[in-house]
Amino acid sequence: MSTLALPTQATETGGISRRRAGRIVSAIPIAFLVFDTVIKFAGIQPVADSMTQLGWPLHLSLGIAVIEAVCLVAYLVPRTSILGAVLLTGYLGGAVATHVRVESPLFSHVLFPVYVAALLWGGLYLRDSRLGALLRRG
């Protein structure tokens, strides 16, 4: 039986559950990234310490926070969420490169941005039918 033959109520309920699951999955990396952005804007001592440890000049933390915030806003706006996911993936790729460069531990530091990106994309896939349609076309 195709999904077109299913009653409207069942289709809508499945879509609502899927969107709700997508929002829950997306909330985890969003919470982390919002926290990360806020502490960079606040300029607290742990941010200064980590910037130094990673080899980044401290004065760049504000610019990095602005870039992160813009990417997050793009991800949170439904119309631009796919673009936001692409931008955040690039941002997180830079974090991976930075941790590889300073030889951070693999699973806890180098791959952590990959885990965040996987949750961002997984949540987006569940809550935005456009992404599924885009993937099926390819």
Establish if 116 belongs to a structural domain: yes
Tens-digit pLDDT profile for residues 80-109? 999 999 999 999 999 999 999 999 999 999
The pLDDT value recorded for residue 39 is 98
Q: What is the pTM of this model?
A: 0.86
User: Phi, psi at residue 4, to the nearest 5°?
Assistant: -70, -25
Establish if 114 belongs to a structural domain: yes
Quick count: other Cβ atoms within 10 Å of Cβ 128? 19
Quick count: other Cβ atoms within 10 Å of Cβ 38? 13
**Structure tokens that stand for 128 in this block:** 């935005």
**Structure tokens that stand for 136 in this block:** 């099926």
Q: Give the span between the Cα atoms of 94 and 57, in whole angstroms.
A: 15
Whether the Cβ atoms of residue 47 and residue 39 lie closer than 8 Å to each other: yes
Establish if 110 belongs to a structural domain: yes
Amino acid (one-letter) located at 69: A
How many domains, the chain? 1
